[in-house]
Amino acid sequence: MDNTQKQIIYMLSAAIRKKNVKFKNDEKINWNDVIEEAEAHKVTPLIYSSINRSEALNIMDEITLNTLKKKVFKSSITQSSHIKNVASILEKFNNAGIPIMVLKGLVVRDYYPIPDLRTMCDADVLVHEKDLEKVSALMISLGFNQIKEKNDHGAHIVFYKGSTVFEVHWTLINDRFFKGDKSFEDRLWDNTMEVEVGGVKALSLSLEDLAVHLCTHMAVHIAYSGFGVRQLTDLVVLVEKKGSEIDWSSFVSKTKESGVYKFSMAIFAICNKLFDMEIPEVIKKEKKLKDKYINQLIEDIFASGVHGKKDKDRVFANEFAFDQGEGAADGSSSIIKKFIKLLFPPISQMSDKYNYAKKFIILAPIAWIHHLIEGVLNKDYSFGSKMKMATSTVSVANKRNKLLRELEL
C-alpha cells in the first residue's frame, strides 16, 4: 500500500469505531489524493467523520475542509432521502402481503456509528421467484420502470424511478459463477430476522447468512471486475457488532457449500491485517492463504474501487482473467484466445450496428474491420491509453488469474 492508502485505512478504522484520528501538525498528507481515493471507494463521508473538527484546520487548508463538508452534507441528504424512498416501497410490499428480504447495505448500515455515512446508490432485496409477477405489477403501479438483467450478481430485475434504483433478486448465487452448490439458499427463508429500514419493518437474512452473502458478493466482484474497501468495512462492522451471535462453524460450512471458502478465509485475514479485526476462533483454525496472495488481493482491492471501475485499463484486463463458464482462465493460451475473440467476436454476439453481417454472413470480415475501427476511434480512451491497454492486458490478466485459481474461484 502507498501512503495515501495507509491513511485511508487509518481513517476508516477510526470512523467505523467512532473515533477521531490523530495527525501530527507537520505530517505530510496529500488531501487531494486522499479525497480522490476515498471517492473511488465511496467512503468520503466516513473519512470526514474521523477528522476532529476542532483540529481540522491544523492538518488541511480551509478550501479542502469546506469541499469535504459540502460532499458529506450532500451525501447525507441523498442517503436520508434514499432510505425514506426505500421504506415507502417496503411498506407497500408489506401491505400487499409479498414477502421481501432486504440485503447488504440496507442491513449493515445500521452497524455503522452513523448509518447515513455508509453510502449506497441502490437497494437490493430478495423475493420468492414465484412472486415475481406480483412484484413487477406492484413496482409498475408505483411508477417504476423495469429492466430485466442477467449479470455477475445472478438473475435480477432492476426497477428505477428518478434516482431510486430497486434491484429485485430471487437468488443470491449465480449458477454460472460458483463451483459449489446453492442448496443453502433453500434454508434462507427459514432463518430470517426482522429489521427496520426507515422505521418500516422488513425481513433480513440471518446474521450468519448475511456474513456468507457479503463474502459471496465480494467473490463475484473480484472474479469479474473487483471491489473496494467499503465492502471490507461492511464485514468488519458486522463481525464486531454481531460476531458473538453468529455460528461461525456453520458459516464456514456454508462458504464451502457455495464455493467461496478459500476466498472468505482470505477476506477475514485481510480485515484483520488492515483493520485489526479480531478473527473468530473457529476461523483462526482454518487453513491460511500465503502472504503473497493476501498482499496481491489487497493490491487488487485498492486498484478496483467500490465497483471495480476505478482503473479502465485494469477493468479491461480483468475480463480476460476469468472465464464465466469455467472459473479462472487456464494459462496464457486461454487469455490470448479470449483476446482474439474480443477483437473478432462471433457475429451473433455483436451489437445491432453490425446487423448487415448477421443478415449476410459473407460480410463478417467487413464487420470485424468496422469493429476494430470503432475501438481505435473510441474517444473514451486516449491513444496512449489504448497502447498501454494492448501491451499490459495479457500480463495483468495472467497475474490475476493465478490469484483467482489460488482462491479457487
The pLDDT assigned to 245 comes to 96
Q: Which of 286, 191, 277, 273 is nearest to 239 (CA)?
A: 277
The pLDDT assigned to 152 comes to 42
User: How far are the Cα atoms of 16, 105, 118, 263 from residue 19, in angstroms, in the given order?
Assistant: 8, 22, 16, 30
The pLDDT assigned to 324 comes to 47
Q: Above 50 in pLDDT, residue 65? A: yes
Give 153 or 190, the one with higher predicted confidence: 190
pLDDT 10s digits, 75-118: 999 999 999 999 999 999 999 999 999 999 999 999 999 999 99
Q: Above 70 in pLDDT, residue 148? A: no
Q: Are 135 and 92 in contact (CB under 8 A)?
A: no
Mean pLDDT of 39-53: 90
CATH of domain 76-204: 3.30.460.40
Name residue, grid cell 445472478: 154
pLDDT 10s digits, 166-225: 999 998 876 665 666 677 788 899 999 999 999 999 999 999 999 999 999 898 888 777
What mean pLDDT value characterizes the chain? Answer: 84
Between CA 253 and CA 243 the distance in angstroms is 16
pLDDT 10s digits, 231-240: 999 999 999 9
Coarse DSSP helix, strand, coil percentages of the chain, rounded to the nearest 5 percent: 60, 10, 30
Q: Above 50 in pLDDT, residue 135? A: yes
Give 321 or 296, the one with higher predicted confidence: 296
Q: Above 70 in pLDDT, residue 68? A: yes
pLDDT band at residue 401, thresholds of 50, 70 and 90? confident
The pLDDT assigned to 229 comes to 96
* C-alpha of 60 from chain center: 31
Mean pLDDT of 234-257: 95
- Of 207-211, 223-227, 349-353, 377-381, give the lowest mean pLDDT range: 377-381
Mean pLDDT of 24-34: 82
Name residue, grid cell 457488532: 241
Between CA 229 and CA 191 the distance in angstroms is 29
Q: Which helix (H) or strand (E) holds 138?
A: helix 132-141
Q: Which helix (H) or strand (E) holds 155?
A: strand 154-161
Beta bridge partners of 168: 125, 157
pLDDT band at residue 58, thresholds of 50, 70 and 90? confident
Q: Where are the domains of the chain?
A: 1-60, 76-204, 312-406
Between CA 288 and CA 31 the distance in angstroms is 36
Residue 363 grid coordinates: 460480410
With left for phi above 0 and alpha for psi between -120 and 50, is residue 329 left, alpha or beta? beta
User: How far are the Cα atoms of 19, 214, 227, 279, 338 from residue 316, in angstroms, in the given order?
Assistant: 39, 25, 15, 34, 12
**pLDDT exceeding 90 applies to what percent of the chain?**
51
The pLDDT assigned to 327 comes to 47
End-to-end CA separation in angstroms for the chain: 24
Most confident of 136-145, 317-326, 330-339: 136-145
pLDDT band at residue 350, thresholds of 50, 70 and 90? confident
